[in-house]
Structure 1
Amino acid sequence: MRVLKNLLKDKLAMMSLLIIILTIIVGLFAPLFSPHDPNEITMSLRYSSPSFQYLLGNDHLGRCILSRIIYGIRPSVLWVLLILFISVFIGVILGFLAGYFRGKVDIIIMRICDTMLSFPGYVMALAVIGILGVGLENILIAFALIKWAWFARVIRTSVMQYAELDYVKFSKASGIRDLSIICRHIVPVTFSDIAVISSGSIGSMILQISGFSFLGLGIQAPNAEWGMMLNEAREVMFTRPELLLAPGLAIVIVVSAFNFLSDSLQIALDPKLINNKHKHKQISPLSKMKVQEKGVAN
């Protein structure tokens, strides 16, 4: 309840959350919101200007840009959220095992994470794509194989911090099962950290998906995706720059919404950071981790 009250006081957070919710709803029910078939080719409408029937105009094949923007939410946002959930789930399990049990379990898991994180994210993704081939599915598999290592390492650090608290040690000494201790005492206090790092990673993953599609390595035609729409519009970027505007703004707005919500969520979970936000004198360890994660992803 305290977190909800803090978020409700933040207008930027509420606006960002509203944008995210609307985006997800429109993406899930794309056939209901789309005015036309996104793959319908009408060469007579090639490069047509915006009109009442086609609010954002038509592309080089006469397809409705608005419809393609709506359907592009699915690969650009919804599939990213699914892969993020899978990556976080794997990272949470391994991070808890490494941070709570320590010893050989910690050493083995962390050495695997070190191996995965020793290569830049894009290099690893390109290697996976080179093996499996181009396509959205293969990029998503590459992300799932890469991202879990970062989540596992960050979550391990958080678990190690809370596992040393007195009430956790007392529970161990009392003979309570490790699984019960983790579920009752560790999970609730680490949930905030997991929520923040997860929300902070969505924006970078959306940008990476769009970047690969822009390079032709992601989703293939005729399916709609924001990065691919930018690639298709770059040939007429000087004569018809408005064709770049719609998918570009969609990426900027959604990524910004996730980033703003992540920052607001971190402050809502830890009100002490409010002073840091205004004074810019301190940076929390979790903020440093987010900055480092962006560097690893690049």
Structure 2
Amino acid sequence: MRSQVRKKKRKELWYKIYSNKAALAGLIILGIYALILIFGPLVAPYDPYEIDLQNKLQGPSMEHLMGTDDKGRDILSRILYGSYLTVGVGFSAVLFGGSIGILLGLVAGYYGGRVDSIISRMIDVMLAFPGILLALAIVSALGTSLINVTIAVGFFSIPMFARIVRGSTMEVKKLEYIDAVRTLGANNIVILFRHILPNILSPIIIQASMRLATAILSAAGLSFLGLGAQPPSPEWGAMLSAGRDFLFNAPHMALFPGIMISFLVLGLNLLGDGLRDALDPRMKA
């Protein structure tokens, strides 16, 4: 019976996404990027690190579809290989920040009282700083690397998840079935992770999809500033940074990495809006 209900809900969700043109466009864009992630390194025509100074700063051609950079490296190959770095950093940052934020939100919303006050004040302090400035401060303190960028971007994602999960937990814990489960002898950990968390996944999924776009953009921005991926890494933000010195005589160096970042963020935002329309009960009303 439960499996049938779940199948019905999944069908309804997919129908709502398919009927939403913006969400469908986002799903198509992300599908293309998924193919790039899976098959990109296999179909890359050149070694992304191979230097060929005789062919540097060449424009797009049949030999190099996206041209070459100032070291003669094929830009298309570097973009295909760099997709792992760009998407991986964003995904890891959201996973890191989301895990901590969800845990804090569950504890604050369920226990309330002094525990809620302490966690809420911590979240307020984190929200007092603009996200990108907080990330800049963390990376400056830890040092320039993709791992530190992941930590920094994930850190300023914590308050977003914590606030949403806290509010949803406070609503769900008042429902009658939670009292029934508690009466049957279930401990707090079981109640939190088996009965409350599965019932507040909708806002978490929506927030994660929207936050992933912000994380990828922020990580690329830090690499653009020289605080993330370092040369010769083919990370898209670092490639965009390398191309800014050649905007007039070789604009393709910055154009193609910028397009890849822009469309990836666009696809995530479109799909996030579609998921919000499909999963948010307030949007249904």
User: Match for residue 5 of structure 2?
Assistant: none
Quote the RMSD (CA, aligned, Å).
2.0
Range moving further from structure 2, 150-159 or 163-172:
163-172
C-alpha distance 82-29 of structure 1, shift in aligned 2 (>3 A): farther
User: Match for residue 213 of structure 1?
Assistant: 223
Structure 2 distance, partners of 1:207, 1:42, is 30
Alignment of 1:66-215 (within 5 A): 66-215=76-225
User: Match for residue 283 of structure 1?
Assistant: none
1:257-278 CA-partner distances (Å, limit 9, x unpaired): 0000000001111376268xxx
Q: Structure 2: 5+ residue runs without aligned partners?
A: 1-9
1:185-236 CA-partner distances (Å, limit 9, x unpaired): 3223210000001101111111111111111111000011212222211222
Alignment of 1:247-286 (within 5 A): 247-270=257-280, 273=283
TM-score (norm 2): 0.89
User: Match for residue 245 of structure 1?
Assistant: 255
Structure 2 distance, partners of 1:13, 1:28, is 22
Range moving further from structure 2, 69-78 or 142-151:
142-151
Structure 1 distance, partners of 2:241, 2:155, is 27
User: Match for residue 65 of structure 1?
Assistant: 75
In the TM superposition, residue 29 of structure 1 has moved relative to its aligned partner by 4.6
Structure 2 distance, partners of 1:42, 1:251, is 26
Helix, strand or coil for the counterpart of 1:72? Answer: helix
Structure 2 distance, partners of 1:136, 1:184, is 34
Structure 1 distance, partners of 2:169, 2:284, is 24
C-alpha distance 108-271 of structure 1, shift in aligned 2 (>3 A): closer
In the TM superposition, residue 173 of structure 1 has moved relative to its aligned partner by 4.3
In the TM superposition, residue 184 of structure 1 has moved relative to its aligned partner by 4.2
Asked if 2 retains the 8 angstrom alpha-carbon contact of 1:76 and 1:206, the reply is: yes
Asked if 2 retains the 8 angstrom alpha-carbon contact of 1:37 and 1:67, the reply is: yes
Give the letter for the 2:226 counterpart: G
Q: How many residues align?
A: 275
User: Match for residue 17 of structure 1?
Assistant: 27
Give the letter for the 2:127 counterpart: L
In the TM superposition, residue 238 of structure 1 has moved relative to its aligned partner by 2.2
Asked if 2 retains the 8 angstrom alpha-carbon contact of 1:124 and 1:142, the reply is: yes
Give the letter for the 2:74 counterpart: C
Range moving further from structure 2, 57-66 or 25-34:
25-34
Q: Structure 1: 5+ residue runs without aligned partners?
A: 276-298
Asked if 2 retains the 8 angstrom alpha-carbon contact of 1:24 and 1:78, the reply is: no
Helix, strand or coil for the counterpart of 1:60? Answer: coil
Asked if 2 retains the 8 angstrom alpha-carbon contact of 1:27 and 1:78, the reply is: no
In the TM superposition, residue 104 of structure 1 has moved relative to its aligned partner by 2.4
